[in-house]
Structure 1
């Protein structure tokens, strides 16, 4: 109990010092930008070797390079779950956005009684900071409010060095609850490299018994997976909206080296979930191991000068 309380206090008041990773980053690389130092230390903890950020080759090295060097304001816009909506609307893709019930600037302001029976509350400048209210299931409003308040006051950028999470204001949005009848809804995560969808991650059972498989744009199983996932079994059915997903993803990612674009299909309608610049925070561990390098070869990094322009 004391340990959990300490973690909560550290997350709220000292997120940049909350683990041995943070301490090592500060002590090993004094004078270096903290998030760059944290990126280097976290990479070493995950892969067992220091990243080569001068001539990056693996997909994770290249994502770490982008976290350090691509500081364009638009990166913060597309990774913020509320601001991303305006970005999609400007591209003529507002019809793909899930229905929005409300937006608040604090957990205290959340009006639970103004919401429908089921909804999803999301803190907009973080990852996986969600409270899901399912149909007919009571919600502990006090506990939900405390959780949201903690997230609102935690700097997500200090977790894996993703600077853009600290560049958008903290908000809470309430979105329409998505459920195709089984208590869950599959999602399709398109990995777009330099404007081209290279593969699609299909996920189902996100709340329990998570399963995931990587498919080609032609919807054929690919011979790699994340280290954490078990064999999927028979591949999922090809989605009817696949070509529409690929076209929308191309429009949404123009001008970006790498973006993961998440989609859902709800009631026959294609919906845009979110945009991620660094899937898994930039520390993807593919198996077999050689795919970390092979996938890295698919990504062409821009010149630093073009990112600063």
Structure 2
């Protein structure tokens, strides 16, 4: 049996962990690694190379921003711990969920000092969360192992989101949020050049996930992410919607595109996170024409202003 030892070595060497990484290195030698990875990942998802000289679809434009917008503030707002300081600078620190503790390593996590229910999050990644519900029994050793794995994984090398590598890895413990049934809906406001154009309402995050796209007037949009199940009748308009829109516009100042996520917990409005590239920058809407329509809403900045 022939064994390609070079391929095996490449697979496990730094930044050569998948066929995407291998192709990025080999197809675009000398190019910034994350730019090469963005191009290859886009091709794998959409079946065509992105037009980054004249980007038109929303995903092409997000890829352009990932490559060209390297301002340090991007790493601040996408870090789940440093976001707290950013919110405070805007006088919005009261929107942040309660913080129990912050640690620099999985070994330092003090489970005995935490309440019965909490949320552990690795701050420089996406969906790196451990949620402990009330009364739930967890395997602390297994949780430490999972947290340690996440903290030693470079999320930037997944979809080319460089800013994840520009923030230190930390673990935070936040208050447990639940409006009943083990879940809490969230409201994801997409802000294009200062204007809220899309609100994605999500529920059933862990069981029976459902999502619907609404416009700023809380009217259902005739599009959704590809492969999403139709939501059905739209949910009731939240009383806090106007406040969410105003806050999202405040927090998005200086960004061409940002998604601002909110929760409503026991009548209190909370800020979840800021996301610069929803779905890592590879959103795929259906019907297909909406990829261009939504792309038209995003006006890209002059490269000279991204300093």
Instruction: Work out the CA distance in 1 between the residues paired with 2:16 and 2:261.
Output: 32
Where does residue 184 of structure 2 map in the other structure?
A: 185
Once the two structures are superposed, residues 43-73 of structure 1 have per-residue CA deviations (whole angstroms, 9 ceiling, x without a partner) of 0000000000001000000000000000000
TM-score, normalised with respect to structure 2: 0.96
Instruction: Work out the CA distance in 2 between the residues paired with 1:215 and 1:276.
Output: 18
Report deviation, 1:18: 1.1
Where does residue 19 of structure 1 map in the other structure?
A: 18
Instruction: Work out the CA distance in 2 between the residues paired with 1:177 and 1:100.
Output: 10
TM-score, normalised with respect to structure 1: 0.95
Where does residue 209 of structure 2 map in the other structure?
A: 210
Instruction: Work out the CA distance in 2 between the residues paired with 1:286 and 1:27.
Output: 30
The CA RMSD measured in Å over matched residues stands at 1.3
Once the two structures are superposed, residues 69-111 of structure 1 have per-residue CA deviations (whole angstroms, 9 ceiling, x without a partner) of 0000000000000000000011011111000000000000000
Where does residue 256 of structure 2 map in the other structure?
A: 257
Instruction: Work out the CA distance in 2 between the residues paired with 1:232 and 1:256.
Output: 30
Report deviation, 1:182: 1.3
Count of aligned positions: 299
Are the counterparts in 2 of residues 184 and 204 from structure 1 also a CA contact under 8 Å? yes
* SS of residue in 2 equivalent to 1:120: strand
* SS of residue in 1 equivalent to 2:115: coil
Unaligned runs of 5+ residues in structure 1 are 1-9
Instruction: Work out the CA distance in 1 between the residues paired with 2:95 and 2:79.
Output: 16
Where does residue 248 of structure 1 map in the other structure?
A: 247
* SS of residue in 2 equivalent to 1:108: helix
Report deviation, 1:15: 5.5
* SS of residue in 1 equivalent to 2:306: helix
Where does residue 295 of structure 1 map in the other structure?
A: 294
Runs of 4+ in 1 over 4 A off after TM superposition: none
Unaligned runs of 5+ residues in structure 2 are 1-9
Report deviation, 1:228: 2.5
Report deviation, 1:14: 4.4
Instruction: Work out the CA distance in 2 between the residues paired with 1:142 and 1:240.
Output: 43
